[in-house]
Amino acid sequence: MANSLKNISGLLSPKFLSPRLSPNYLLASPKSEGNRYKHKLTRSVVAKKLDFVTDDKFLKVPSRFPKNETGNFKNLLEVNSSSREDIHNKSLELNTPNKVTLFHSGLGKLKKRTTILGTGTFGTVFQGIYKGTKVAVKVVAKETSNNEKNALLLSHPNIVKTLNIITNPEFTTYNLIIMEHLPKCITLQDVLESCGEKYDSLTLKKFAVDITTGLDYCHSNNVLHLDLKPKNILVDQKNTCKICDFGNSVSIGDNLSNFKHNGTVIYTAPELLLGKSPSMKSDIYSLGIIFWQIKYRKTPFEAYDSNESIIYNVAKHNIRPTCDKNNEDLFTNIFTKCWNTESNIRPNTCDILKDLEHVQI
C-alpha cells in the first residue's frame, strides 16, 4: 500500500483505475450503487481491509485484543501483555555474527530466536539485546535508513526514542535501527479496534493531546513525519501515546523537490497525492484523520474497495470521512479544519493544543 506515488497524473486519471470502477461510480456515494452495496459492510467484513501496507492490497488487521468487563484501558493492556509474557522473554543478542546475518539477509534466518514486536511499511521490529540492554530493533532497507536518521536527535515523552542506527559499508541490503523498548505496549490501531464503545472521555482526550504534543515537538525540530497513523503510535502502560516509525520522514532543510511519498493512502494529504512537496500542514491533515478515527472508532474510507478510488475521491473531489451532523462538537470542528483542502488554512499544532484544552470527546 505504501507505494511511491509517481506518475500521479496517470494514477488520478479514470483510465488508470480498475476497469470495474467507472468515473461515475467513483464520484458516487459508496452506498448509492444499489446492489453493489446491497450487503451492509459490518465490522467483521471491513476488518479484513483495514491496514494498507504493501502491493496496493488491503491486508488483514492483527487479531483483536480481548475486552474486559470494566472497559478499563489499563487493565486491557495488562490482559494482553500477561497473555504473551512468555514469548516476550525471547531477545536476539546483537553480537557480531548476528549483525552480519541481519545486514546480509534481514531477519529471516533469525526470526525463531526472537520476539517479533511489529511489522510495518518500512521494516520488521523485533526484541533484541544491545550493549546489555533490552531494545526494539527494526531491520530496514538501506535506502530508507536516511529517513530514520531524522529521529536520532528527537527526545520527547511522546516519541519513541531512536538510540542508534547501525550500518556496515560491506553490506548494501539492510541497516538496523535501535530504539527504546516499551514493555506491554500496543498500537493505537489495536486499541481502537479492541475496545469497542468502552472509552473514558479523558483517556481519548489524552490520546489526542499526546499525539499533537509529539508532532509539535517534531515540527519544532524541523522534522516532518509524513506517515502519521494509529499503527505508528504506540500506547504504553500509562496510556501515553508515542509516535514511532520515521521511515518516511524528512527534514525541512532537505531538498524536497524529488520527494517520493511512501505513506499510507487513507491518511495522506491531498497535496501529496497530487505529487506536491510536503509541509507541516501535510502532517496536520493526517492528524485530523486520526482524530476522526478516535471519535468514531472506524477506519477511514472503509466503504471504498481500492486505493485508486480513495485517491481519486480525496485528491480530485475533496471527499472526507463522514461525520454525524447530529453529533458535531468542538472536536469535530478541530479535525475538519485539519483536513481542509487548502493546506495554508489548516491550523498548526500550537493552535490545536489550545483548542483541545476545551474539548470533551
90 is in an annotated binding site: no
Instruction: Identify the active-site residue in 210, 227, 245, 283.
Output: 227
Q: Three-class SS string for the chain?
A: CCCCCCCHHHHCCCCCCCCCCCHHHHHCCCCCCHHHHCCCCCHHHHHHHCEECCCCCEECCCCCCCCCCCCCHHHHHHHHHHHCCCHHHCCEECCHHHHHHHHHHCCHHHHHHCCEEEECCCEEEEEEEECCEEEEEEEEEHHHHHHHHHHCCCCCCCECCEEEEECCCCCCCEEEEEEECCCCCEEHHHHHHHCCCCCCHHHHHHHHHHHHHHHHHHHHCCEECCCCCHHHEEECCCCCEEECCCCCCEECCCCCCCCCCCCCHHHCCHHHHCCCCCCHHHHHHHHHHHHHHHHHCCCCCCCCCCHHHHHHHHHHHCCCCCCCHHHCCHHHHHHHHHCCCCHHHCCCHHHHHHHHCCCCC
The answer to whether 56 is a known catalytic residue is no
- Per the annotation, binding residues are 142
Task: Give the residue numbers annotated as catalytic, written as ranges.
Answer: 227
- Per the annotation, binding residues for ATP are 142
